[in-house]
């Protein structure tokens, strides 16, 4: 019974930055790992970044390393993905993901999904 709502998507130019956020509500467990996946048009959903409940541990897809940063505000129950140096290939629907095992990169392991926020990066 967890609800996830994303916000912050939009249209930007290559090289720009954008921040997307996820607000969680409902019965979120203290041990929940949360993260972000994305799905480009015509392609499957792919892992982007994840963060532990404490916010101390994170891991990223290779495509995101050095450019994206995931963070967590436990008090506000939000997860944020800061995206810098955006590329056209980053264009996708970005989904907030909740309650999955830390270390997993598989969409099938995710129990809760947001409805997504669209990020479009123009050349």
Model confidence band, residue 31 (pLDDT cutoffs 50, 70, 90): low
Task: Report the distance separating Cα 8 and Cα 10, nearest Å.
Answer: 7
How far from chain centre, in Å, is Cα 104?
14
Mean pLDDT of the chain: 94
Segment 37-70, tens digit of pLDDT: 999 999 999 999 999 988 889 999 999 999 999 9
* Strand partners of residue 110: none
Nearest Cα to Cα of residue 110 among 121, 120, 123, 101: 101
Q: What pLDDT is attached to residue 70?
A: 98
pLDDT at 21 over 80: yes
Per the model's pLDDT, the better-predicted residue between 32 and 57 turns out to be 57
Segment 67-93, tens digit of pLDDT: 999 999 988 889 999 999 999 999 999
Alpha carbon dihedral 51, 52, 57, 58, in 10-degree steps, equals: -20
Model confidence band, residue 27 (pLDDT cutoffs 50, 70, 90): confident
Residue appearing with tokens 């996830």:
4
């Amino acid at each position: 019974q967890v609800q996830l709502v994303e916000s912050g998507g939009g249209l930007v130019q290559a090289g720009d930055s954008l921040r997307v956020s996820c607000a969680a509500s409902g019965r979120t467990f203290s041990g929940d790992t949360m993260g972000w996946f994305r799905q480009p048009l015509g392609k499957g959903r792919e892992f982007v970044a994840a963060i532990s409940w404490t916010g101390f541990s994170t891991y990223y897809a290779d495509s995101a390393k050095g450019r994206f940063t995931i963070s967590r505000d436990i008090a506000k129950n939000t997860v944020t993905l800061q995206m810098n140096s955006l590329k056209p290939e980053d264009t996708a629907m970005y989904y907030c993901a909740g309650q999955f095992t830390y270390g997993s990169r598989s969409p099938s392991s995710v129990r809760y999904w947001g409805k997504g926020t669209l990020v479009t990066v123009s050349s």
